[in-house]
Amino acid sequence: MKKTIILYNPKAVFFDMPLALIALGTQVCEDYNVVIIDARIESDVDEILKEYIDQALLVGVTSLTGAPLKDAISFSKKVKDLRPELTVLWGGWHTSLFPKQILEEIKEVDITVQGQGEVAFKELVQHIENKNELEGITGIVFRKDGELVSTKPRPMMDINDLPRFNYDLIDVEKYFTAKGNRQFDFISSIGCFFRCTFCADPFVFGRKFSGLSPERIFEDLKYFHEKYQFDDLNFQDETFFTYPKKIVELANLLKQNGRKFSWAATMRADHGNRMSLEDFQTCKDGGLRRLLIGVESGSQEMMDWLKKDIKIEHVLKCAQRCKELDLAVIFPFIVGFPNETDESVEKSKGMIQQLSLMSPRFETPVFYFKPYPGTQITNDVVKSGEYKLPNSLEDWSEFDYIGSKGPWVSDEKFVFFERFKFYLRLARKRNNLLILPFSMLARWRVKKLLFKTPIEMKISEKILPQKNLS
């Protein structure tokens, strides 16, 4: 009988397929019985754990900063209560940023894995089953004789050398149901070449990037579509259009194959700036329905400070092309950076206003900057004494990255942008005749930036309270 490997995804409020755990499970599923337990999907995690734990060789847990940490800790303790000798290892974003702190504070965790983890995980499984020493495995931290041992960082590998994901490790239909549509999740690259100071990618992946070839992506998607019959695809890449010509080539392959599904992806504005209108058209013909183009600020000075390495003109050029082709775009903004000037905030307001009024298919969500670990800005404000990071995992589990204002956002600024965000959303809702008059009023408010006496907002909050995200 095959031994079992249990992989756990903690509770959260979104339903993307657990691609990281699928990637790990794919590495070992031929030789082991891999069980992925996703607390976002499964109604009785404890029963599933009890069913498989007696045959388990090890348990892997993914970690994400914020509320999911609390559930990850709780699950790890349940595992050790049932089988104290069973190896528990953690990976994921938070673990890559704090590999030692987890082992120092959570005695139930035995090993942490940093960065790209597929091959490290496979090696760990083999070493644990054979009771071999762990020093030769790169990219991990573990306990030995009461001390923490850190091995050398693991270099990024070419993901074209990794096998095709085995989505049979999850119940794909459950995710379609949770999402409310037959949307499939896929990742075709890892890492990022760029140096944005508000992002942890440069720290975790060392500004390295590896992407699948257009032919490999096409063959994988063709296989998965025949098997799972999805209607829409969400590329989970950080920077999907890193090599625009390759993506246009992929779009051509999808178009020639009859374009059986639509897709959404991320795009840097400088990448889009290098593409012609014909390239955008080819992507649309190949199924592109929506882009996510991070703007962050309407101030070029602030963009340069953030080391975005894009120009305002790039954003507007991409927006104009997407408007011409009736493509949907999400343009995220961030306000409340340390020492951000009022002039910078005013320019962001103007840019948000301009983009939102260009097309009813453009969204301009606004977030508040919070010092996320591993970013250059965070390192700077901590070093200067301007900000103190949470001291413990318990504190990090209370860290709310999305749902509240940051330390450099005044109450007045917070109130303005919460109202701005509400009317931006309302202005886009034009399909319902009952809501249309309120949508037109909201559009007028956005044009004038007049949000005093927000009666519509007060009514909406009582009828449809907003869901908190973390």
Describe the crossing of helices 45-52 and 67-82 by its angle, rounded to 10 degrees: 40
**Tell me, what's the pLDDT at 259?**
84
What is the band of 429 on the pLDDT scale with cuts at 50, 70, 90? confident
Question: Rounded to whole angstroms, how far apart are CA atoms 205 and 116?
Answer: 8
- pLDDT tens by residue, 156-167: 999 999 999 999
Question: What CATH architecture is 181-409?
Answer: Alpha-Beta Barrel (3.20)
Q: Which has the minimum average pLDDT: 49-63, 67-81, 383-397?
A: 383-397
Q: Write down the pLDDT at residue 463.
A: 66
CA separation, residue 162 to residues 31, 41, 117, 216, 323 (Å)? 16, 27, 12, 11, 38
Q: Which residue has the tokens 């579509």?
A: 225
Query: What six digits make up the tokens of 191?
Result: 């890492």
CA–CA dist 161, 167 (Å, integer)? 18
Q: Output the pLDDT for position 460.
A: 75
Q: In 89-180, which ranges are continuous DSSP H helix?
A: 93-97, 99-105, 118-130, 172-179
Segment 376-410, tens digit of pLDDT = 999 999 999 999 999 899 999 988 766 678 899 99
What are the boundaries of each domain within the chain?
Answer: 4-150, 181-409
Other CB atoms within 10 A of residue 434 CB = 6
Do strands 333-335 and 366-368 pair parallel, antiparallel, or not at all (unpaired)? Answer: parallel
Q: How confident is the model at residue 14 (pLDDT cuts 50, 70, 90)?
A: confident
Residues in contact with 248: Cβ distance below 8 Å, sequence separation at least 6, in sequence order: 275, 279, 282, 283
**Taking residues 342-366, what's their average pLDDT?**
96
Question: Distance between CA atoms of 240 and 292, rounded to whole angstroms?
Answer: 10
Quote the CA–CA distance of 139 and 229 in Å, as a whole number: 37
DSSP state of 296: B
Residue 403: the pLDDT is 66
Residue 107 banded pLDDT, cuts 50, 70, 90 = very high
Lowest mean per-residue pLDDT among 69-78, 213-222, 432-441 = 432-441
Burial class (CB in 10 A: 0-12, 13-18, 19+), 393: buried
The share of the chain scoring above pLDDT 70, in percent, equals: 97
Check pLDDT > 80 for residue 70. yes
Mean pLDDT, residues 97-118 taken together: 95
The DSSP bridge pattern shows strands 189-191 and 209-211 to be antiparallel
Quote the CA–CA distance of 352 and 348 in Å, as a whole number: 6
What is the 8-class DSSP label of residue 342?
Answer: H
Q: What is the enclosing helix (H) or strand (E) of 355?
A: helix 342-358
Confidence of residue 312 (pLDDT cuts 50, 70, 90): very high
Tokens 């490997």 -> residue: 5
Phi/psi of residue 419, nearest 5 degrees: -70, -40
- Element (DSSP H or E) covering residue 427: helix 411-428
Per-residue pLDDT at 468 exceeds 90: no
pLDDT reported for residue 469:
46
Q: CA neighbours within 13 Å on the CB side: how many for 320?
A: 10
Give the chain's length: 470
Q: Are strands 288-292 and 328-330 parallel, antiparallel or unpaired?
A: parallel
Q: State the pLDDT at residue 466.
A: 58
Strand partners, 335: 368
Tokens 């779009």 correspond to 251
More confident residue, 402 or 148: 148
At 464, is the pLDDT very low, low, confident or very high (cuts 50, 70, 90)?
A: low
Tell me: the pLDDT tens digits for 230-282?
Answer: 999 999 999 999 999 999 999 999 999 988 999 999 999 999 999 999 999 99
- What is the average per-residue pLDDT within 103-127? 96
Top CATH class of 4-150 equals alpha beta
Residue 411, number of CB atoms within 10 A of its CB: 8
- 20-41 per-position pLDDT tens digit: 999 999 999 999 999 999 999 9
* pLDDT score for 470: 41
pLDDT at res. 465: 56
Give the model's confidence band at 59: pLDDT under 50 very low, under 70 low, under 90 confident, else very high.
very high
172-207 pLDDT per residue, tens: 999 999 999 999 999 999 999 999 999 988 888 889
